[in-house]
């Protein structure tokens, strides 16, 4: 399994200085690149960058805007009963015209514009010099000052990555309000690295070229910590199950954002380092953070990742939710009591009372308001209450999306034989035949998501598959 990050063929670039290395001067994995090429893998060249780390004591925080963390932080795990409170604050400041003038005056020293950098960078987090050039009409750009930890003086300047020489970095950072005396502990720099063409991967994250080889993270053409961690979990699981001769896990895009991420990678490919934005999914109503346990815990249980204690807790939570749904469905709120509660909350009183579940469909009525009258359900936490309210308020929309998922699932069940010959289907466009032959989708649904494969192509392919005995 390869999780090489930016170390594969790593090359760090700071001004005119470029050296073959991984991040922070660590050794790169340059020989591995050649081994992969010899094995037949198609590699690409991407680049990313990192902002500087600066000394907190050199920042005048009185001139910055404080960004306080959420009072009720959302935990990452459903097993977390009491999330840790936020103990540190972030801050925000902005570049200005002086900052931009310094950057523009030194663009000839920027490896991004001088041709030193050849790799393709992520479109969603461009360097500060790239922002100044691409968004010339903007008079300022935000910079988020984030602590690197609770007990460190290092601060991370999010939104201010750069590959300009260190003297230029010192000049333009010190032109920013609150940064007049800033001390750079580690300068910003760019890094180029090698990665695989993700369309050469199966949906299990196994290579189609080198069987038994799995990849995750930036090696697969992605960027981002969450993306890497999620892929690592899937690739590691499947690598282990492959070694044991067991079936492997494929997550459909309608099951999770991880499923969407992997399907995008192996079906559509990437032009630049991929980030998993929620907008990339067509199933955002059902792929919510509050129901992730309901969607994924049973899958984890099936594949041996969820132990007995976690499974028992999950089942207990589902029982609590089901009991509360029944209670809300069966409980009637009196008009006078409801009106009084709404007036007390500063809301326009409802015309009349009714079934609690039906009343919760109204945008102005919340679960806590209803709970004032009928009490909180047994075992219902604020997080579960919000989940129930969401599901009730958007029930009609969620049902419509569920129908769409079922329609898509029918195409997903239409399998395409591995050796299916697309070249003989003259009804397909040349582009469709070329891409289908190269990507070799597993089913009709995946085929329809390949860029360049039209609905007409899918219809023609469906007819051909209906006549093919192995596709049934």
Structural tokens at position 398: 């969620």
**d(C-alpha 69, C-alpha 98), whole Å:** 31
Within 69-205, strands assigned E span 90-94, 142-147, 154-158, 184-186, 189-196
**d(C-alpha 403, C-alpha 413), whole Å:** 16
- Confidence at residue 180, expressed as pLDDT on a 0 to 100 scale: 97
Q: Which helix (H) or strand (E) holds 424?
A: none
Which candidate, 226, 231, 218, 214, places its Cα nearest to that of 192?
218
Indicate whether 472 pLDDT > 70: no
Indicate whether 471 pLDDT > 70: no
- Confidence at residue 470, expressed as pLDDT on a 0 to 100 scale: 57
Which candidate, 420, 432, 428, places its Cα nearest to that of 466?
420
**d(C-alpha 250, C-alpha 234), whole Å:** 9
pLDDT, tens digit, for every residue of 38-88?
999 999 999 998 999 999 999 999 999 999 988 877 888 888 878 778 888
- Checking phi first, is residue 64 left (phi over 0); if not, alpha (psi -120 to 50) or beta? beta
Helix, coil or strand: residue 7: coil
Q: Strand 17-20 and strand 65-67: pairing? A: unpaired
Least confident of 110-124, 305-319, 337-351, 446-460: 110-124
- Confidence at residue 411, expressed as pLDDT on a 0 to 100 scale: 84
Top-confidence residue, 87 or 257: 257
State the chain's mean pLDDT as an integer. 92
Provide the CATH number for the domain formed by 413-471 in this structure: 1.10.150.570
Per the document, the length of the chain is 472
- Residue 70 gets which letter from DSSP? P
Greatest alpha-carbon span in the chain: 78
What DSSP assignment string belongs to 173-218?
HTTSTT-TT--EEE--EEEEEEEE-GGGB-TTSBBSSSTT-BB-GG
Binned at pLDDT 50, 70 and 90, residue 469 comes out as low
Indicate whether 350 pLDDT > 80: no
Q: What are residue 201's DSSP bridge partners? A: 207
Q: Is-contact 41 26, C-beta < 8 A?
A: no
pLDDT, tens digit, for every residue of 199-225?
999 999 999 999 999 999 999 999 999
Provide the CATH number for the domain formed by 47-191 in this structure: 2.40.30.260
- Confidence at residue 190, expressed as pLDDT on a 0 to 100 scale: 93
- Confidence at residue 330, expressed as pLDDT on a 0 to 100 scale: 95
Q: How many helices (H) and strands (E) does the chain have?
A: 17, 12
- Checking phi first, is residue 191 left (phi over 0); if not, alpha (psi -120 to 50) or beta? beta
**CATH fold group of domain 308-399:** Arc Repressor Mutant, subunit A (1.10.10)
Compute, in degrees rounded to 10, the torsion defined by CA atoms 422, 424, 426, 430.
Answer: 50
Percent of the chain with pLDDT over 70: 99
Indicate whether 142 pLDDT > 90: yes
Average pLDDT over residues 160-176: 96
- Confidence at residue 192, expressed as pLDDT on a 0 to 100 scale: 94
Angstrom CA distances, 405 to 261, 264, 313, 429, 466, stand at 17, 17, 28, 27, 22
Binned at pLDDT 50, 70 and 90, residue 114 comes out as confident
Q: Using CB atoms within 10 Å of the CB of residue 471, give its burial: 0 to 12 exposed, 13 to 18 middle, 19+ buried.
A: middle
Which candidate, 192, 194, 162, places its Cα nearest to that of 18?
192
**d(C-alpha 247, C-alpha 304), whole Å:** 12
pLDDT, tens digit, for every residue of 295-310?
999 999 999 999 999 9
**d(C-alpha 357, C-alpha 363), whole Å:** 12
Average pLDDT over residues 380-392: 94
Output the CA angle 125-268-118, nearest 5 degrees.
Answer: 45
Top-confidence residue, 472 or 31: 31
Domain boundaries, the chain: 47-191, 197-281, 308-399, 413-471
Q: Is-contact 144 157, C-beta < 8 A?
A: yes
Structural tokens at position 99: 């900052």
Binned at pLDDT 50, 70 and 90, residue 395 comes out as very high
- Confidence at residue 56, expressed as pLDDT on a 0 to 100 scale: 97
Top-confidence residue, 229 or 345: 229
- Confidence at residue 172, expressed as pLDDT on a 0 to 100 scale: 97
Other residues' Cβ atoms within 10 Å of the Cβ of residue 333: 22
Binned at pLDDT 50, 70 and 90, residue 364 comes out as very high
Q: Is-contact 54 185, C-beta < 8 A?
A: yes
Q: Is-contact 275 224, C-beta < 8 A?
A: yes
- Checking phi first, is residue 8 left (phi over 0); if not, alpha (psi -120 to 50) or beta? beta
Top-confidence residue, 423 or 122: 423
């Amino acid at each position: 399994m390869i999780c090489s990050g930016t170390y594969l063929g790593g090359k760090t670039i700071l001004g005119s200085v470029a050296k073959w290395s991984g991040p922070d001067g660590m050794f790169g994995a340059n020989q591995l690149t050649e081994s992969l090429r010899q094995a037949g893998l198609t590699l690409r060249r991407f680049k990313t960058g990192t902002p500087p780390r600066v000394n907190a004591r050199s920042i005048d925080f009185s001139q910055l805007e404080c960004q306080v963390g959420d009072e009720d932080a959302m935990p990452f795990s459903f097993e977390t009963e009491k999330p840790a409170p936020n103990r540190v604050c972030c801050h925000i400041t902005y570049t200005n015209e002086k900052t931009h003038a310094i950057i523009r005056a030194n663009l000839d020293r920027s490896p991004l514009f001088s041709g030193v950098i050849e790799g393709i960078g992520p479109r969603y987090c461009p360097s500060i010099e790239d922002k100044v050039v691409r968004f010339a009409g903007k008079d300022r750009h935000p910079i988020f000052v984030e602590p690197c930890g609770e007990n460190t003086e290092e601060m991370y300047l999010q939104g201010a990555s750069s590959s300009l020489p260190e003297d230029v970095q010192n000049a333009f950072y010190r032109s920013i309000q609150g940064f007049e005396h800033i001390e750079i502990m580690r300068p910003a720099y760019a890094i180029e690295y090698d990665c695989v063409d993700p369309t050469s991967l199966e949906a299990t994250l196994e290579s189609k070229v080198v069987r038994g080889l799995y990849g995750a993270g930036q090696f697969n053409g992605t960027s981002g910590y969450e993306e890497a961690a999620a892929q690592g979990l899937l690739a590691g699981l499947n690598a282990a199950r492959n070694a044991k001769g067991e079936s492997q896990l494929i997550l459909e895009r309608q099951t999770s954002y991880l499923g969407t991420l992997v399907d995008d990678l192996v079906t559509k490919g990437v032009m630049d380092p991929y980030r998993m934005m929620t907008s990339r999914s067509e199933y955002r109503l059902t792929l919510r953070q509050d129901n992730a346990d309901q969607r994924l815990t049973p899958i984890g249980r099936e594949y041996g990742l969820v132990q007995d204690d976690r499974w028992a807790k999950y089942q207990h939570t589902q029982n609590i939710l089901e009991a509360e749904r029944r209670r809300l469905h069966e409980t009637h709120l009196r008009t006078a009591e409801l009106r009084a509660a709404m007036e007390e909350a500063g809301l326009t009183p409802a015309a009349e009372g009714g079934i609690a579940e039906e009343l919760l469909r109204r945008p102005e009525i919340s679960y806590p308001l209803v709970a004032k009258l009928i009490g909180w359900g047994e075992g219902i936490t604020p997080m579960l209450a919000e989940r129930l309210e969401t599901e009730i308020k958007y029930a009609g929309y969620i049902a419509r999306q569920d129908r769409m998922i079922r329609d898509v699932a029918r195409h997903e069940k239409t399998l395409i034989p591995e050796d299916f010959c697309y070249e003989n289907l003259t009804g397909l466009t040349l582009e469709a035949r070329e891409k289908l032959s190269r990507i070799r989708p597993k089913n009709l649904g995946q085929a329809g998501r390949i860029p360049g494969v039209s609905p007409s192509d899918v219809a023609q392919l469906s007819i051909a598959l209906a006549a093919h005995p192995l596709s049934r």
